[in-house]
Amino acid sequence: MPNIVSELWGRVHFRPELKTPLLSLVTFVLLALAGLSSQWQLLEKKGFDLLSVHTAPMQSTLPITIIGIDEPSFAEIGLRWPWPRGLHAELVDRLSEAGAAVVAFDLIMDVASTPDQDSQLADAIRRAGNVVLAADWVFQETTYARQWLRVDPLRDFTQAGAIGGLATMTLDGDMIIRQLPDNRDAFWRVILDKFNQTRPGMLPPVRLPKPPMIRYLGPDHTFPYVSYYQALDPEKFLPKEFFRDQIVLVGRDTKASPDAGAAQADTFSTPFTASTRWLTPGVELHASILENVLTGITLTQAHPAAKYALLAISILLSALGMWRWRPVLSALLGLVLMMAVVGLDWWLFRYRNIWLPAGAPLVGIVLMYVGQGGMAFLAEQQRKRQIKQAFEHYVPPQVVAEMIAHPEKLKLGGQKREVTILFTDLKGFTSISEQMNPEDVSRLLNRHLTEMTRIILRHNGTVDKFIGDAIMAFWGAPLDDPKHADHACQAAIEMQAAMAAMRESLATEGLPPLYMRIGIHSGSAIVGNMGSDDRFDYSAIGDTVNLASRLEGVNKLYGTDILLSEFTVSMLERCEHLRKVDVVIVKGKLTPVGIYTICQDNELITLSRHAIDTFQASQWDQSEELWKKIHEIFPQDKIAEIYLQRISELRAAPPSSDWSGAVALEKM
């Protein structure tokens, strides 16, 4: 799959400098579009939750007290729910006597109980003059209709002076309450209206942002709680004037955990639920809203333009910083940018009461890092593929694969290596080409070079260069090859066999035959990228290369098609098909070197070895007899003719006593 992606990426034909801007644009568009989905918006709100938790003051500062209908109260009072309304009437009287500014029941009392109980509560409401009761919306489905109905307090209570406030909360998709209800008769507005009636001039005017969001002061029970049974007898359980000028909220306070599987009455999830694992009583949510609006710490969501601007700036800075891909440095830059975004988001939330959704910018930075890394990877894969394709014209595919898998084995620059060098040349190709038109010469030469190159590569060789109709190749680099001499010789044999087959094919096409000479020598050479800063070739240089080139030319003298130096022969694992030819000193060299050729006739190999040994020992008669025998058996053998002529010359002019038997080839 990565190869397919890399291949497709490699076919993208816009300029490389445009890839990063395109990635930035695509990232911005994708995240901007994702921000329109409800799922993404819900994910962004998790950031709101984290900020709510980490910026919460963890305390209440206003005179708001909650009277909880809790487990201890059930135990002390000893009555099942719902409690008789006469009990609530007693609570109202006690709170009124204690100087409470407002008494708000977060309880729905829309259905009549007994006339006596309802009358007691109505009378208490009338006496207090500061009671607020909760209203709500319910969804009703019947056979004939499906509709929302408003549930208001019992008429007897409102006629007695109680005001109904809508206590409905809006749940987000993940069942967490974040929005502050802003309808005209919201529970908190009705409470503040009642407070202004009982304590005129004490509250500042309320100004809410649009749309308002709740700033949570802390987890459940951040506000002061008093058990219901304690409020019924404040002189016994509470300090004197504990409720003086207080906004008192009365509601259910039963511990509820989301792990219980079923939500309990009037409890809700808040941003703190994920960490505390506890739901918050609805009455405390109303207390939080009251403190929000009274202290002016209500949150608002930033304008969408600010969100898109932050996204664009984050992507732009990421693109600029990661333009030149460096995995570690780019990662550090990405972390710095992410910390900057988080810091800005925290500062706005904490000190400016603005929630700026930062999920998209954070994801944008990550996507830019991954995208830039991905583009760098694909570009690297593309470069590797291009290098592989280019290098496969010079070395076998398996060698290229090994170089790519283990690049540490490939050292750029000049390096001294033990190699075997091979040179080829076509006999009389210049005169042949003069008899043909240029197009035919080009096709013939390409045909020859293609066939020879394939054989070299098949035997793990590296094609160094083409010099007209000649080929230079070597074994043992760029990767080590312990059998470089064997592989070179095997390639030479196969190349000459291919030339024989090609001659037959050329004959049927009416084309002149081609003959090739090969010189092979093994030794040390400098191998690497040779040339200038602007242009270089992967090549080998040194005396080993020069001697291999000389041996190719020496073939002309001996009528051979392959000549190997004694150094190459010494490295071969199998030497049974090698015929010794001579010991020569080529032009430009001082040291004699033994040369051999490939021969499949064992008799000729044996006779030649004895003939040369006797020749070098100055045993002219024995050597001459052996060479004559070779000439009789192999009349076309040019080596025998050369030695017979040398013996005749040496008899006429005997060599000095220190003669080594080596022949100096002044012109080769």
Write out the two tokens for 63.
Answer: 């005179």
Read off the DSSP letter of residue 16.
G
Please write down the long-range contacts of 374-382, taking CB distance under 8 Å and 24 or more positions apart: 375/9, 375/19, 375/20, 375/23, 375/325, 376/325, 378/5, 378/6, 378/9, 378/10, 379/9, 379/16, 381/2, 381/3, 381/6, 381/9, 381/10, 382/6, 382/9, 382/10
CA distances for 374 relative to 14, 319, 377, angstroms: 17, 13, 5
d(C-alpha 588, C-alpha 290), whole Å: 104
8 Å CB contact between 516 and 499: yes
Which residues face 475 on adjacent strands? 420
What is the chain's length? Answer: 668
Q: Which of 500, 495, 551, 493 is nearest to 522 (CA)?
A: 551
Cβ neighbourhood burial of 567 (10 Å; 0-12, 13-18, 19+): middle
Q: How crowded is residue 41: how many other Cβ atoms within 10 Å of its Cβ?
A: 15
Write out the two tokens for 315.
Answer: 């992507």
Q: At what angle do helices 187-198 and 282-295 cross, to 10 degrees?
A: 60
Torsional sign, CA 247, 248, 250, 256: positive
8 Å CB contact between 124 and 92: yes
Q: At what angle do helices 38-55 and 359-391 cross, to 10 degrees?
A: 120
Mean pLDDT for back-to-back runs of 10 residues, the chain (668 residues): 48 63 91 91 93 94 94 92 94 94 94 94 95 88 73 93 92 92 92 92 83 93 94 92 94 68 68 91 94 92 93 93 88 94 95 94 94 83 71 60 61 79 90 82 90 92 90 90 94 94 89 92 88 70 92 93 94 86 85 92 91 90 92 91 90 83 75
**What's the distance, CA 496 to chain centroid?**
51
8 Å CB contact between 371 and 441: no
Instruction: Please list, in sequence order, all residues whose beta carbon lies within 8 angstroms of the beta carbon of residue 86, skipping any fewer than 6 positions away.
Output: 116, 117, 120, 121
CA distances for 358 relative to 24, 25, 44, 234, 280, angstroms: 17, 18, 7, 48, 27
- DSSP line for 565-590: EHHHHHH-S--TTEEEEEEEE-TT--
For the chain, counts of helices (H) and of strands (E): 24, 21
Q: Which of 31, 30, 39, 102 is nearest to 65 (CA)?
A: 102
The identity of residue 202, as a single letter, is M
- Residue 1 is predicted with a pLDDT of 47
CA distances for 476 relative to 113, 421, 522, angstroms: 103, 9, 10
- Residue 536 is predicted with a pLDDT of 63
- Percent helix, strand, coil in the chain, to 5, is 50, 20, 30
The identity of residue 406, as a single letter, is H
The identity of residue 518, as a single letter, is I
Q: Is 406 helix (H, G, I), strand (E, B) or coil?
A: coil
d(C-alpha 420, C-alpha 305), whole Å: 70
Tell me phi and psi for residue 155, to 5 degrees: -55, -35
d(C-alpha 376, C-alpha 382), whole Å: 10
Instruction: Please list, in sequence order, all residues whose beta carbon lies within 8 angstroms of the beta carbon of residue 498, skipping any fewer than 6 positions away.
Output: 451, 452, 455
Q: How crowded is residue 576: how many other Cβ atoms within 10 Å of its Cβ?
A: 9
Q: Which of 20, 21, 18, 35 is nearest to 361 (CA)?
A: 35
Most distant CA pair in the chain, distance = 157
Write out the two tokens for 554.
Answer: 């020496």
Element holding 423 (H helix, E strand): strand 415-426
Q: Is 374 helix (H, G, I), strand (E, B) or coil?
A: helix
pLDDT digits (tens, 9 = 90+) for 369-386: 998 888 888 877 777 777
Q: Is 37 helix (H, G, I), strand (E, B) or coil?
A: coil
Cβ neighbourhood burial of 290 (10 Å; 0-12, 13-18, 19+): buried
Read off the DSSP letter of residue 302.
P
pLDDT digits (tens, 9 = 90+) for 109-167: 999 999 999 999 999 999 999 999 999 988 777 666 677 788 999 999 999 999 999 99
d(C-alpha 548, C-alpha 555), whole Å: 11
**What's the distance, CA 124 to chain centroid?**
70
Tell me phi and psi for residue 166, to 5 degrees: -75, 115
Cβ neighbourhood burial of 115 (10 Å; 0-12, 13-18, 19+): exposed
The identity of residue 659, as a single letter, is W
